[in-house]
Amino acid sequence: MSNAKANIAVLVSGGGTNLQALIDAEKSGVLKSGTIRLVISNKKGAYALERAEKAGIEAFALTRKSCGGQEGFEKRLTEEIESRGIDLIIMAGFMSILSEDFTRHFDHKIINIHPSLIPSFCGKGFYGLLVHEAALAKGVKVTGATVHYVNEIPDGGEIIMQKAVEVKDGDTPETLQRRVMEEAEWIILPASAEKICAGILAGRA
Ligand code: GAR
């Protein structure tokens, strides 16, 4: 296989704006050391799959149900990823916790974007809008996003990048989510992907 670029797989569950940020970053050259080869959704009909198809990227849904449970799901996921020579797995709005076996198998090969400044508002039960609801309920004045490696502890792996975002008076979970996406997530996810892919290429040279 050519070592011109690192191969990326993106795992999604929903709207896929972070996937879109990665696709746009590849087009604009912000992401130049890696290329998105595969998108897998654990939810059928996720809009993220349409975004991938529009960009000409192989994409399909793989559900726990269709694989006969968590073990079967992770086995298929592993097969799909390994048969394509994927170097980096990016969880971009992937709302599912992967087992210790899976995360150990892909140690330092999986990254995730989380919509808060870890260690605040993270771990089991903190995902999507719930994270922003919790931040507003606590009354924090600054929040943000974190990209981290994925290990067996939900949101517990080594931090790669973080970016702070101001909470404004009158914010709702929705307005805060949008600001965190625009000012933090869509910037640090492609930047982290580029950093890691550049490191992978350097290791091959
Ligand atoms: C994003 O805000 C992402 O950080 C968050 O879900 C949203 C997905 O949006 N992920 C988590 O909460 C993971 N624990 P998207 O589908 O438009 O990228």
Q: Would you say residue 109 lies in a domain?
A: yes
Query: Of 11, 101, 26, 3, nearest to 63 (Cα)?
Result: 11
Active site residue 132: no
Q: Would you say residue 1 lies in a domain?
A: no
Residues 178 and 170: their CA atoms lie apart, in Å, by: 14
Q: What's the pLDDT at 205?
A: 85
Ligand 1 nearest atom to the CA of residue 48, by list position: 16
The structure's pTM equals: 0.97
Q: What's the pLDDT at 3?
A: 62
Domain count along the chain:
1
Q: What's the pLDDT at 177?
A: 98
Q: What's the pLDDT at 120?
A: 98
Structural domain containing residue 96: 6-204
Ligand 1 nearest atom to the CA of residue 94, by list position: 13
Instruction: Give, using CA atoms, the residue closest to atom 16 of ligand 1.
Output: 16
Looking up residue 49, the CATH number of its domain turns out to be 3.40.50.170
CA of 11 to the centre of ligand 1 (A): 11
Q: What's the pLDDT at 185?
A: 99
Reported as a single tens digit per residue, the pLDDT across 139-184 is: 999 999 999 999 999 999 999 999 999 999 999 999 999 999 999 9
Instruction: Give, using CA atoms, the residue closest to atom 11 of ligand 1.
Output: 127
Q: How confident is the model at residue 90 (pLDDT cuts 50, 70, 90)?
A: very high
Q: Would you say residue 164 lies in a domain?
A: yes
